[in-house]
Amino acid sequence: MFAVRTKFVTKTEVVLRTVYTALEKGLAVIGPTQVAEELGVSKSTAQKMLNELSKAGYGVYVPKKGLVLNERGKMEARAAVRMHRLIECLLADLGVEDFCKEAEKIGMVAGSSLVDALEARYGDREFCPCGKRIPEVKK
């Protein structure tokens, strides 16, 4: 898990999570417009982000359409989403009101021992506190 985490700069993880959320909704391709809206960045920044994911080997960027994740990309996206939702579980347990926003910040600095502890405590949960499914990640 730690190796998976450290490969990413923060932005990449956030973008991957956005792409994963689109996949959950049944979209196979995610375009810059959607990422721009989701993350509050400009369309050109969003396009750059998606291109970077494709260059990093997580999928194919189809011009004028968007990014299609490959198996590796899907795996990394699931790992990023899983981490976020496990942190949410912890924060909700602690009674933190704004657990999603806080989980976002903690996720950016979390290291392997926190990830391991979260897996030990919440690893068998199916849903995060907002009711979204926590994706499985094959080890």
| Distance set, CA 88 to CA 29, 31, 83, 104, 128 (Å) | 27, 27, 9, 9, 7
Query: What distance in Å separates the CA atoms of residue 86 and residue 83, rounded to the nearest whole number?
Result: 5
Binding site for Zn ion (CB under 5 A): 88, 128, 130, 132
Q: Which is nearer to Zn ion, 65 or 105 (CB)?
A: 105
Provide the 3-class DSSP secondary structure of residue 102.
Answer: helix
User: What minimum distance in Å lies between the beta carbon of 85 and Zn ion?
Assistant: 5
3-state secondary structure of 76: helix
- Alpha carbon distance 80, 102 (integer Å): 15
Shortest Å, Cβ 99 to Zn ion: 8
- Closer CB to Zn ion, residue 1 or residue 100? 100
Which residue, 13 or 88, has its beta carbon nearer to Zn ion?
A: 88
Using the 8-state DSSP alphabet, how is residue 139 labeled?
Answer: -
